Structure formats: C-alpha cells, structure tokens
Amino acid sequence: MKSQNKIVAILVVLVIVLAVALGYIVAGQRAADEVVSPYRTDKIVIGFTPPDITGVFKTATDFFIESAANAREAGVHVEVIARSPATHVAYADQVAIVEDFIARGVDVIAISPADVKALTPVLQKANRAGIPIIVVNLLGPFEGVEVASFVGFDNFTAGAVTAYAVLDYFGGPGVLGTGPTVQVKPTDFLDLAWWENLYANVDPATIRARGALLEGVAGSFFSQARLDGFRSVLKKFPNVVEVHPVIATNWNRALSIAATEDILARHKAGDIDFIWGMSSEIGLGAMLAVEAAGRQKDVMVFNQGGTAESMTRIREGRLVGEAWHGFPEWGWYGVKHAVMTVLGQEPPAHFDVRPRLIYKGNLVQFTPLPHLSEIDWEAILQAAGK
C-alpha cells in the first residue's frame, strides 16, 4: 500500500512539473509573437452591405477586402463580412442584412444604403446597440442616424459635373467636342469648381442640344440629388432641352436598354443628341441600345460612376465621359475609419472623393488604379495605446 502511495505521489509531482514547463513554453511563444507584431489588437469585424452586386459595388467591396488585408499585414486584425441584396430595390433584404449584422454583434456596420429613408429605422437600431456606422456613397445628410464617418461624394455635385461635360461636347469650352479647347494636364481635377470658373462668362445661347435623362429609382435620395444637380446647370442654358420625360430604370442595365430603345423609337436622327444615365449600369445600358440601333454617330451617351467597364468604354470612344464616384476610396478609407472608430479615435466626419470628369484624355488619373494614400496603421495603433 505504501509503495502504491509513493507511485501516486511521484506521478502527481511529474504532472505538476510538466504543467509548469508547458506554461513556460506557451508564455515564451506569446512573448515571441509580441516581438514579431508589437501592436496586436483583438479582431475587428466590419459588416459591409452595398445595395446590389453590380460592378460598381463589387469594386467597392473588393477595396474593403483589400484594405482589411493591408491592415492585417500591419498587425491589425480586421475581417470584412460583405453581403448585398440581389437587386437595388430590394430594400427589405438590405434591412434584413443589417439586422443580421446587429445580431452577430459586428464591431462596425459599413453601408451604401439602397435608400436613405428605408434604412433609417434599422440603422437607428444599430445606434441603440452601440454599433458604429460608416456610410459610403454619399456625404450626408442622414437624418436621425448617428454616423461615425461618411466616405463618398455629393450626389448633386456629381450630376452637375456631367451636365457641364454635355455643354462642353455640344459647343462650350472644355476638353470635349467642337467648342474652344482648354489645355489641361491628365492629372488636373476637372471638378465642379473648375467647370463653374470656366463657364462663368459663357453666353448660354451659344450651346444647343436635345437630350433624354435616365434615372435610378424615381424619388429616391440618390436619383433626386443627381437629377437636381444635372438640371441645375442645364436650366441656365435655354437651348439645351429635354425632349423626353425622365425614365426610371431602377439602376438596372436591362431596364436602361429597354428605356433607351423606347426613346430612340420616338426620336429619330436629328431629333435627339444625347442620353444621360446617372450611373455606370444605366449609362452602359443606354450605350448598348444606341449601338444596337446604329445611332452611335448621332446620339452621345454620358453617365456617372467610374467602373473598370465604363472607363474601358470611354477609352474605346463608346461613352463620352462620366463623373467619378470613387468606389475604391469607399472601401480603402472606409476600413481605416472603421478601425479608428473601434479604437476610440475620431475619424474624419466626411471624406469627399471629389466628383470630377473622366474622359479619354485623363484616364490615367483613374485607371488601372486611382491614387490611394498609404494608411499608417502603426500610427493609428500607437494613438490608441496598442
């Protein structure tokens, strides 16, 4: 019996010794890890939901993911969960996605809202749950919702920029069409301030054109803001007129094709000079319909956005130009601002991508990649005491 007790005691001692040794090994490994990456953080989970899965929002999603990967390389553990509705008008589906993000307890919700009003109640719920919100695709306002940071552009301004491109093409000064040519560098920003200064003394009667406008969802925040911006410029030029009622396309390329076919059937060659689509998908649809009808010589297509596909069509001469909406910036800086918020820092309230004209002569400014400032993750972590 004594010998058995002695064996048990020896075994207990061996177990204790092994446990202590294992503890030193684990502690040593942790110390080694800390030497390799001194600014480690707990994982930060960002739930990102764009309003659909078209090229515009795929680009933004890709840059959310790329920015998160860039952060991880610097020792900031960021994960992006991206989910979107199947169509831009599936408001209830995007609400459900945000509800799921809240239930999961994500650290930040980043959203390009399909519609501001439709998403307000669920984002207020996220506010009550203490989840910070980053909004992309606009600079505000978002009445009733506490937003940590906006990364985007003024939609009214973007519409106005493209309106000036139309004036330029049909006889006004600028970089397009047959009017007086202005010398610019490919890196110059042809933003609203540039256009307003250029057209300050232009005689409105000298520019003539007839066109039709294609919008997204009638009456929605984005559609109305871009439409108002476009018309705010053209109303000063009485000989630039709309020859067809505005057609809503629900931001859908197929519906844009159908709408353009209807416009072309009603307005023969010589009766219409241009079609403006207020997004890349809408503009690309209009372009395809114009080409299918053999009308590309007499009907010019302008649009908004700046996707890889639309800029390729500009390079080919199939689209005239468009206003830059900054999709890569949404993701790249959206992640930065999300991390800053979680770490208790105050990100910029607004990051303006500055809508400006994209045309064949300045594509180098936007493609294959726009200029994105390097993010100093180490400085962000140091400021947070990590």
Domains (ranges, CATH) in the chain? 44-153+327-355+377-383 (3.40.50.2300), 155-324 (3.40.50.2300)
How far does Cα 341 stand from its chain's mean position?
A: 19
Write the CB contacts of 350 (distance below 8 Å, at least 6 apart in sequence).
Answer: 139, 140, 149, 150
> Which element (helix H / strand E) includes 26?
helix 2-36
**What pLDDT does 23 receive?**
41
> Which element (helix H / strand E) includes 377?
helix 377-383
**What pLDDT does 41 receive?**
59
Count other C-beta atoms under 10 Å from residue 375's C-beta.
Answer: 18
Bin 169: left if φ > 0, else alpha if -120 < ψ < 50, else beta.
alpha
Count other C-beta atoms under 10 Å from residue 23's C-beta.
Answer: 10
Separation of alpha carbons 110 and 108, rounded Å: 6
Separation of alpha carbons 152 and 144, rounded Å: 19
The residue type at 362: N
Q: Please state the φ and ψ torsions of residue 108, each to the nearest 5 degrees.
A: -145, 145
pLDDT by residue for the chain (386 residues), tens only, comes to: 444 445 434 443 343 333 434 343 333 333 333 333 344 458 999 999 999 988 889 999 999 999 999 999 999 999 999 999 999 999 999 999 999 999 999 999 999 999 999 999 999 999 999 999 999 999 988 999 999 999 999 999 999 999 999 999 999 999 999 899 999 999 999 999 999 999 999 999 999 999 999 999 999 999 999 999 999 999 999 999 999 999 999 999 999 999 999 999 999 999 999 999 999 999 999 999 999 999 999 999 999 999 999 999 999 999 999 999 999 999 999 999 999 999 999 999 999 999 999 999 999 999 998 999 999 999 999 999 87
Could you tell me where the DSSP H helices lie in 199-323?
221-234, 253-266, 280-292, 308-316
Q: Which token pair is 265?
A: 């059937």
Separation of alpha carbons 256 and 364, rounded Å: 28
Separation of alpha carbons 258 and 75, rounded Å: 50
Separation of alpha carbons 75 and 250, rounded Å: 42
Could you tell me where the DSSP H helices lie in 74-210?
91-104, 116-128, 155-169, 192-198
Count other C-beta atoms under 10 Å from residue 104's C-beta.
Answer: 12
Separation of alpha carbons 125 and 96, rounded Å: 12
At 185 the three-state DSSP class reads: coil
